[in-house]
Amino acid sequence: MERGDDVSEERILLDHGSGGLASHRLISEVFFRYMGNEHLYGMDDAACVWTGPLTAVSTDTFTVDPLFFPGGDIGSLAVHGTVNDVAMLGARPRYITCGFLIEEGLPLRDLERIAASMARAAQEADVRVVAGDTKVVTRGAADKLFINTTGLGELLLDTPLSGAGAEEGDAVLVSGNLGDHGLAVFAAREGLSFQTPVRSDSACLNHMVAHLLQQVPEVRVLRDPTRGGLATTLNEIAGQSGRDIFLREADLPVDPEVRESCSFLGLDPLYLANEGKLICVVPRRWADEAQQVLREHEAGVNVACIGEVGGWSRGRVILETGIGGRRLLQMLEGEQLPRIC
174 φ, ψ (degrees, to nearest 5)? -130, 140
Residue 247's alpha-carbon distances to 242, 244, 302, 320, in angstroms, are 16, 10, 17, 6
- DSSP, res 332: P
H or E element that contains 198: none
Enumerate residues 288-317 that contact a copy of itself by CB under 8 A.
Answer: none
Query: Does residue 22 bind a copy of itself (CB under 8 A)?
Result: yes
**Pick from 28, 37, 138, 292: which binds a copy of itself (CB under 8 A)?**
138
Q: Which of 181, 207, 227, 243 binds a copy of itself (CB under 8 A)?
A: 227
Taking CB under 8 A as the binding criterion, the range among 181-189, 199-207, 289-297, 332-340 that sits at the site for a copy of itself is: 332-340
CA-closest candidate to residue 219, choices 274, 277, 159: 159
Instruction: Please state, in angstroms and rounded to a whole number, the distance separating the CA atoms of residues 190 and 141.
Output: 23
Assess 34 for contact with a copy of itself (CB under 8 A): no
At residue 11, φ and ψ (nearest 5 deg) are -125, 160
Distances (CA, A) of 331 to 17, 234, 236, 317: 39, 8, 8, 9
Q: Which is nearer to a copy of itself, 10 or 296 (CB)?
A: 10
State how far the Cα of 339 lies from the Cα of 98, in Å rounded to an integer.
18
Q: Which residue among 71, 75, 132, 310 contacts a copy of itself (CB under 8 A)?
A: 132
Instruction: Select from 9, 33, 46, 292 the one that contacts a copy of itself (CB under 8 A).
Output: 46
Per rule CB under 8 A, is residue 66 in the interface with a copy of itself?
no
Tell me, by CB under 8 A, how many residues bind a copy of itself: 85
Q: Which is nearer to a copy of itself, 120 or 339 (CB)?
A: 339
Binding mask 238-277 for a copy of itself (x = CB under 8 A): --x-------------------------------------
Q: Residue 85, interface with a copy of itself (CB under 8 A)?
A: yes
Burial letters 237-266, b for 16+ CB under 10 A, else e = bbbbbebbbbbbbeebbbbebbbebbeeee
Asked if residue 101 binds a copy of itself (CB under 8 A), the reply is yes
**What is the distance between the alpha carbons of residues 82 and 130, in angstroms, rounded to a whole number?**
14
Rounded Cα gap, residues 337 and 316, in angstroms: 24
Q: Which stretch binds a copy of itself (CB under 8 A): 43-51, 110-118, 199-207, 310-318?
A: 43-51
Nearest residue (CB) to a copy of itself, 51 versus 214 = 51
Least distance between a copy of itself and beta carbon 256 (Å): 26
Considering beta carbons, is residue 49 or 328 the nearer one to a copy of itself? 49
Site string for a copy of itself, 197-226 (x = CB under 8 A): --------------------------xx-x
3-state SS, residue 169? coil
Return the residues of window 158-197 that contact a copy of itself according to CB under 8 A.
160-164
- How far separated are the first and last CA of the chain, in Å rounded? 36
